[in-house]
Amino acid sequence: MSDSTQPAAAATPAGAPPRRTRVALVFGGRSGEHPISCATAAGVLRALDRDRYDVLPIGITRSGQWVVVPDDPDALALHGAELPEVTAAPGDVVLPMADASRELTVTESGRVPQSLGEVDVVFPVLHGPFGEDGTLQGLLEMAQLPYVGSGVLASAAGMDKHYMKVVLAGHGLPIGPYTVITPRQWRVDPAAAVDAVESLGYPVFVKPARGGSSLGISRVEDREALEAAVREAQRHDPKVVVEAALEGREIECAVLQGRGDAPPRTALPGEIAVSGHGFYDFESKYIDAEGVRLSCPADLPEAASQRVRELAAQAFEALGCEGLARVDFFVSASGGVTINEVNTMPGFTPYSMYPLMWERSGLSYPELVDELVQLALERPVGLR
């Protein structure tokens, strides 16, 4: 849809105070990353400037119900091993499906639908399938609602590690050796799948193809442990990606879409160092972080740091990302740089690496949240 046909926000009456931009913050969702999405929402709720923004928190339960949630960041924050959750409530939030309105409503059996008013922009902070993978983005496109972050294709390709690698390799960007185990192949010819994995050499990392937050990932040292690792990954996704273990430091780079026709912006790279865990898994990320050190800026030679930033911007554009992304790398002792993956909705709690990299680059968490909302407001929905 072109700018000329995009529904306009309601006008402010003459003499009235300036109308605050209405932001629908959508979080939770049906994936295993539900609690992390809630924690992200807590950070964004605290950061949105209430003098500028009117915020409507909308949670999605694990069963898929959309509900209005109290504007209470503390109720959504992580508290040790206690993980936050969106619970079911009477009434379902319904999006508009017509050009003329951006009005959200709550419908409940036996009651007159209740208007939640119009929203100007949606800030989705869902992680994983049914939120980060293009499904929610497609729904928002159909509802003609501007939203923060990448569109349908970039979200889908970024979520699927298989096709992400296909796109990156197609653009000549450096990726590591890998193989894919489809559910049909695992049923029909598991021996061929095992042979393909062994051609990579051990150790390998076995991952759900469309998962995040390190859920379902296993480091496998030999053939005997491979089947159990594949089964564990398949609990989260029937399609599995197996990657050769790469030697090197784990370096990340935050990317922001440029304003107007400007190129993507990159932050100073950061580094993750893990001790006491086999790798940077779910527990070390969110529950037992004592053995994790996040360093930013990473202590890299200038040439390697610059190469990371260049490749991060190139990966962002290769996938057609918008808004934000975090690109993860391995940097070898010799300075070689390999892209591990691209996250179109990276961890976004105030203590996550993505906002930390921008903070160390001069953009605070509230400023970053504001920048993302403004980028979404500037961008039309539809083909672009």
Same domain, 208 and 300: no
Q: Which of 108-112, 227-231, 279-283 has the lowest mean pLDDT?
A: 279-283
The pair phi, psi for residue 73, each rounded to 5°, is -60, -35
CA pseudo-torsion sign 75, 76, 78, 83:
positive
> Are 191 and 45 within one domain?
no
Q: What was the pLDDT predicted at 322? A: 98
Predicted confidence (pLDDT) at residue 1 exceeds the cutoff of 60: no
The whole-chain average pLDDT of the chain stands at 90
pLDDT digits (tens, 9 = 90+) for 158-217: 999 999 999 999 999 999 999 999 999 999 999 999 999 999 999 999 999 998 767 899
- Mean pLDDT score, 323-352: 94
> DSSP 3-state assignment of 337?
strand
How many CB atoms sit inside 10 A of residue 228's CB? 12
Distance CA 102, CA 79 (A): 35
φ, ψ (nearest 5 deg) of residue 274: -120, 135
CATH number of the domain that residue 235 is part of = 3.30.1490.20
pTM for this structure? 0.88
Residue 98 identity (one-letter amino acid): A
How far is residue 367's CA from residue 364's CA, in Å, rounded to a whole number?
5
Taking a C-beta distance cutoff of 8 angstroms, is the pair 344, 372 a contact?
A: no
Rounded distance, CA 116 to CA 184, Å?
45
Q: What is the pLDDT of residues 76-100, one digit of tens each?
A: 998 777 889 999 999 999 999 877 7
Cα(108)–Cα(381) distance, integer angstroms = 29
Number of domains into which the chain is organized: 3
Judged against a pLDDT cut of 70, whether residue 10 lies above it is answered with: no
Does the pLDDT value for residue 229 go beyond 50? yes
pLDDT in tens, 103-152: 999 999 889 999 999 999 999 999 988 999 999 999 999 999 999 999 99
Q: Specify whether 233 is located in the same domain as 252.
A: no
Q: 212, 229, 244 — which closes off a domain?
A: 244
pLDDT at 280 over 60: no
Percent of the chain predicted with pLDDT > 70: 90
> Given the DSSP bridges, would you call strands 92-94 and 292-295 parallel, antiparallel or unpaired?
unpaired
Domain holding 315: CATH number?
Answer: 3.30.470.20
What are 114's strand-pairing partners? 106
- Give the single-character DSSP code of 322: -
Same domain, 356 and 251: yes
Q: Does residue 130 fall inside a structural domain?
A: yes
Identity of the highest mean pLDDT range in 6-15, 207-216, 313-322: 313-322
Same domain as 338, residue 266 = yes
